[in-house]
Structure 1
Amino acid sequence: LTLFGLAWLNERVTREQIRATQRMASSNMHYAESLVRNSEVIDAMGMADDTVARWAALQRDEIGSGDATQRTSSTIIAVSKFVRYAIQIVLLAVGAKLVLGLELTGGAMIAGSIIVARLLAPIEASMTYWKQFVLARHSYGKLSEFCRLPRPRESEICLPTPRGEVLVSGVTYVPPGLAAPILRNVSCGVRAGEMLAIVGPSASGKTTLSRVIVGVLRPNAGHVRLDHADTFDWKRSDFGQHIGYLPQDIELLPGSVRENIARFRPDATDEQIVAAARRADCHDMILHLDGGYDMVLSDGGVQLSGGQRQRIGLARALFGSPRLLVLDEPNASLDSVGDAALLQTLEEMKRSGVTTIVVTHRPNLLRLCDKMVVLQNGAVTHFGPARAVMAQLNGDGDRRGKATPAKAANGRSHPGSTQLEPVEGVQP
């Protein structure tokens, strides 16, 4: 009973300490990975000493927490060993007394001592390896919890090729762990073959809205529909064939330039890959790379400049004749030549009937847009024909625009706000 009590005490005392140490180890690992990813910025601004010092302090805290847990466990294990040896000594003493009183033979005394030692050994061993047991139990619990999660996307049906009509209806998105929403009841829409611009100040929710549109994030309320089908629930292998997406932060995967443009599809042909590169106006640029299309990129494509990564990322987005193109700041790293090529590409997409949604502030791209939505603090302040919205933003909407005031949930109009006039299938 004493040994079982000590085992229970060891589990109760060290359980939270072990979990806290695990959390610290995970946090420190993520911090170290962040330092590696941002090594150029750290080196350029002389932040190495301070960031490494902070990492060292976090490591000391982790080691200290692990040592405290180990000391507690070792103390309890030492006490359990003392109790075990004390029990054996007492038993041997009692056995010796019985042997001297001719009430027990010497062989029986030794046999009893061996049996007791074998009986107590598993209990002591369980205490010695209790930390590993707690870690294994915690990992099993996390794995079981993950396996019980519902599938994020239930649909497995392949839908017909969409025409490209997009409807954003009452979308609200709250990131996990935060209370305030990034998007608040956002509604807008665009017909097939049209171009929609998403504009607004920094941290207004533009990138989040683009991620919701392509189904990367599930909104807490509302829906984004492509030809009436929810973009998040759409089977991803089928949905991706109709979508081209260029995120704000371009990440190229380890592999050749050819494989990155082809989205690693084994059935991609050279003609399709070159056609996508030509549409993105990066074919000649790729030919001048060391190895051309067969150049092997490391994680993130760090061998390339920001503009080169962006143009290859655009070629990847254009691969396979997508019906919906979502571009987040597509010319952020482009020079004047690349900017002109991007403009020409978007004009070609419009002529081909491809629906395009672009996050941008560049006037040359805004002039191509048919519709425009303006976000501020996660809410829509303006939405309507691009010319009308730009005119109203410039202060002469009454003379040049045809936009109408956007109504809030209470039915009142927001001063200076506009909305798209109702059209079939696309309601703001």
Structure 2
Amino acid sequence: MFGASRQVPPQPRAAAVSFPIAKSAAGIAMISGVVNVLALTSPLFMLQVYDRVLASGSVPTLIGLAVLAAGLYGFQAVLDALRGRVLLRIGERFDGDFSGRVFDAVLRVPLLTRVKGDGLQPLRDLDNVRGFLGGNGPTAFFDLPWMPLYLAICFLFHFWIGVTALVGAVLLIGMTLLTNALSQAAIRDVIARNMTRNTLMEAGRRNAEVVRAMGLHAQMAGRWQTANGAYLDANRKAGDVAGGLGSLSKTMRMMLQSTILGVGAYLVIRQEVTAGVMIASSIMMGRALAPVDIAISSWRPFLMARQSWSRLKDLLGSVPHDERFLALPDPEKELRVEALAVVPPGQKAPNLAGVGFSVSAGNALGVIGPSGSGKSTFARALVGVWQPASGKVRIDGASLDQWDRQMLGRHIGYLPQGVELFDGTIAENIARFEPDADPAAIVSAARIAGAHELILRFENGYETQIGESGSALSAGQRQRVGLARALYGNPFLVVMDEPNANLDAAGEAAVVKAISAVRERGGIVVVIAHRPSAIDAVDLVLMLENGRQKAFGQRDEVLSRVLKPAAATASETRGFPASATGLTPLRVIAEAASKQAGAQETKLKEAPDGTH
């Protein structure tokens, strides 16, 4: 049916995302090297005490060794604390480098594809990586490369001491690999289960009124408890794997230290090594295996951080930075749509195709059509929320993708079908949270929207806190404030999707007045309407049917050619006299027109350029 228009929106080319702390790793590695060399203080001090001090009975030698060891211990403590502080700041730097892009991705991904869960998993992934980088886990990985040094010293003490230490290291490394193999799937399952339960909780919170009013608490609680039980089960399994292997590794490390002490004692009895070597090798063995022990105990957060970083890379690679564009002049001429086709996020086939027309400054366009004809999709494409699969939306000749989004937003006012306001004051919402917004511009937008008197009736007026999603306001009040927000700053293009859906007669009059005000100052208004009152204020009409453009032109001409015969049929079948059709909702009229389209000779054929 759609021919060449059946295509998915072009996806941005994946951008390479590199780990930002790679350069810092060299500095951490240097500090870790010094710390690990200083860690030799304890075994060497014990070696000297047993073999030199006890043999000679020299108190000054003991005091000198103690003072030297104390200084080295202090230096080691300072460097160890410094390493921890640096790692903590590396985690903060990671957050600083990526938090902005993650926020941008969380907002943009729902416009590109369907999102699993509550959409906040990227933020949790960011926290997982930052938390791991700022913890003790990375120190184990910086200490592991120094294990061969300790093993080499053990071999210098005696061959069999070295062999014992080597066998212990191999066993613990094998334990680490086993932990990795057994934990990866369990960690992935934990994250997936957590996403599911968070999604159910967020859905219940958003629909708290419906849950309360319709007695759905038990059903919603049951669903969440089931999801939470699955999460706890997965978390228990992952914890059993990590905790069990961690405890086993600790026990094995203590056994190995005792083993090497026993081997040393045997060699002392055979007079192959001294007592100092026996004690020093035991301490050396513990130091050599400590990083492996820490790595095993930190393996779960490490796996979570690694999987989180993998997801973040994929996400940020598919949602690159917005490109910078040359600032274009303020629009003042026209809106042009060229062979527009739109594929909603997560779908493969377009539900809007072949739409083309132009509207000059000072005009208003009414968009009508039966339910499911693509009107809201069309509105989203006009303001750049959904990217066209083909075709262009142009403002003064420049397509929307040629504009800087921040600059373009100042020239667009958008009132969606479901008005969402942000937690803050009414004034902040109208001003689009613009810093140092002009109070006169806020009041002006509210007056044009017919909301000024309504706002003043609140106890705190424009400074009234509206709560999350505007919960302190009624649906009609939110619509009026949302309209004022759309009109703030006198944008060139104002798109309203059913602006009078929740309004009374006074509210509808305010919408008509707002449309006239935008036209008088040379702007363009596009109104998605199901009620005749909004259409009365426009001079052009676009009719959509089954995702295609059926008619476009002057309002009276289009309505007379397309809607009147269908309106008469709709009126008769519903018991209305033909004279009452002016009061029939446009949705009914449009749906009747769609049914009668085959019998009418007013159906237009699509022009080669997509216009009618």
TM-score by length of 1: 0.86
Of 313, 327, 335, 1:158 maps to 327
The match for 1:231 is 400
Between stretches 339-348 and 221-230, larger displacement belongs to 339-348
Q: Distance in 2 between matches of 1:22 and 1:199?
A: 45
Matched residue SS, 2:392: strand
- Name 1:303's counterpart in structure 2: 472
State percent identity of aligned pairs. 37
1:78 is paired with a residue whose SS is helix
After superposition, where does 1:19-418 map in structure 2 within 5 Å?
19-149=188-318, 151=320, 153-394=322-563, 396=565, 417-418=603-604
In structure 1, what residue type is equivalent to 2:260?
A: L
State the Cα distance separating 1:47 from its structure 2 match. Answer: 0.9
Work out the CA distance in 2 between the residues paired with 1:81 and 1:421: 77
CA shift in 2, pair 1:309/1:176, >3 Å: closer
Name the count of aligned residue pairs: 410
* Secondary structure, counterpart of 1:27 in structure 2: helix
Change (3 A) 1:375 1:28: farther
Of stretches 73-82 and 112-121 in structure 1, the one that deviates more from structure 2 is 73-82
- Partner of 1:407 in structure 2? none
247-256 or 134-143, which moves further after superposition? Answer: 134-143
The Cα shift of 1:333 comes to 0.6
Q: CA deviation at 1:370?
A: 3.0
Bigger Cα displacement from structure 2, 150-159 vs 194-203: 150-159
Q: Is the 8 A contact 1:165 1:226 kept in 2?
A: yes
Which range moves more in the overlay, 384-393 or 230-239?
384-393
Matched, 1:5 2:160: no
Pick which of 150-159 and 314-323 moved more: 150-159
Structure 1 unaligned blocks of 5 or more: 398-413
CA contact (8 A) 1:154 1:233 kept: no
Mapped partners of 1:97, 1:50: distance in 2: 69
Q: Is the 8 A contact 1:166 1:191 kept in 2?
A: yes
* Letter of the structure 2 residue corresponding to residue 49 of structure 1: A
Are the aligned partners of 2:446 and 2:452 in contact in 1 as well (CA < 8 Å)? yes
**3-state DSSP of counterpart to 1:394:** helix
Q: Given the superposition, is the C-alpha separation of residues 386 and 150 from structure 1 closer, same or farther in structure 2, using an over 3 Å criterion?
A: same
Distance in 1 (CA, whole Å) between partners of 2:460 and 2:328 is 39
Write the distance in 2 (CA, Å) between the matches of 1:152 and 1:326: 27
Q: 1:226 to 1:142 in 2, by over 3 A?
A: same
Q: What is the letter of the counterpart of residue 500 of structure 2?
A: N
1:297 counterpart SS class: coil
* CA spacing shift, 1:294–1:82, aligned 2, 3 Å: closer
Q: What is the rounded CA distance, in whole Å, between the counterparts of 2:355 and 2:225 in structure 1?
A: 44
Contact 1:343 1:365 in 2 (8 A): yes
Instruction: Decide whether the 8 Å contact of 2:344 with 2:377 is kept in 1.
Output: no
The 1-side partners of 2:193 and 2:339 are apart by 39
Contact 1:189/1:427 (<8 A) preserved: no
Q: Deviations over 1:203-239 (max 9, x none)?
A: 4332222122112222232221111112244123322
Distance 1:125 1:372, change over 3 A: same
One-letter amino acid of the counterpart of residue 43, structure 1: R
Question: Which one-letter code corresponds to 1:205 in the other structure?
Answer: G
> In terms of Rg, which structure is larger?
2
TM superposition shift of 1:284: 1.5
Q: Shift of residue 115 of structure 1?
A: 1.3
CA distance in structure 2 between the aligned counterparts of 1:279 and 1:147, rounded to whole angstroms: 41
Deviates further, 1-10 or 364-373: 364-373
Report Cα offsets for 1:102-131 as digits up to 9, x if no partner: 333333222222211221121111101111
Cα distance per residue 1:65-112 (max 9 Å; x no partner): 111111122232334334434433443443333333333333322222
Query: 1:233-292: per-residue Cα shift (whole Å, max 9, x none)?
Result: 412332222222111121222332223222233454333222222211122212211122
- Residues 1:421 and 1:148: Cα distance change in structure 2 (over 3 Å): closer
Q: Which moved more, 1:169-178 or 1:350-359?
A: 169-178
- Conserved? CA contact 1:153–1:233, under 8 Å: no
Change over 3 Å in CA distance of 1:415–1:300 after alignment to 2 = same
Q: What do residues 342-385 of structure 1 show as CA deviations (whole Å, max 9, x unaligned)?
A: 22332333343321101111122223333333334433344344
Output the amino acid matched with 1:180.
A
2:50 matched residue in structure 1: none
Helix, strand or coil at the partner of 1:356 = strand
Counterpart CA distance in 1 for 2:181 and 2:370 is 52
| Distance in structure 2 (CA, Å) of the matches to 1:419 and 1:372 | 17
| Distance (Å, rounded) in 1 between the aligned partners of 2:226 and 2:210 | 21
Q: Counterpart amino acid of 1:289?
A: F
Question: Structure 1 residues 377 and 25 mapped into 2: Cα distance closer, same or farther (>3 Å)?
Answer: farther
Q: CA deviation at 1:57?
A: 1.1
Q: C-alpha separation between the residues in 2 aligned to 1:54 and 1:125?
A: 39
CA deviation digits over 1:25-44, x for unaligned, max 9? 23322331221111111111
Q: Distance in 2 between matches of 1:294 and 1:27?
A: 38
Unpaired segments of 5 or more residues in structure 2? 1-169, 567-599
Q: Secondary structure of the equivalent of 1:248?
A: coil
**In 2, Cα distance between the equivalents of 1:11 and 1:380?**
57
CA contact (8 A) 2:539 2:554 kept: yes
CA distance in structure 2 between the partners assigned to 1:55 and 1:164 by the alignment: 54
Contact residue 174 and residue 219 of structure 1 kept, 8 A? yes
* C-alpha RMSD over aligned residues: 2.8
Contact map agreement 1:216 1:232 (CA 8 A) in 2: no
**Given the superposition, is the C-alpha separation of residues 349 and 65 from structure 1 closer, same or farther in structure 2, using an over 3 Å criterion?**
same
Higher strand share: 1
Report if the CA contact (8 A) 2:543-2:549 is conserved. Answer: yes
More helix by proportion, 1 or 2? 2
TM-aligned CA distance change 1:109 to 1:374, over 3 Å = same
Write out per-residue CA displacement over residues 8-38 of structure 1, whole angstroms, 9 at most, x where no aligned residue: 1211221132123123223322331221111
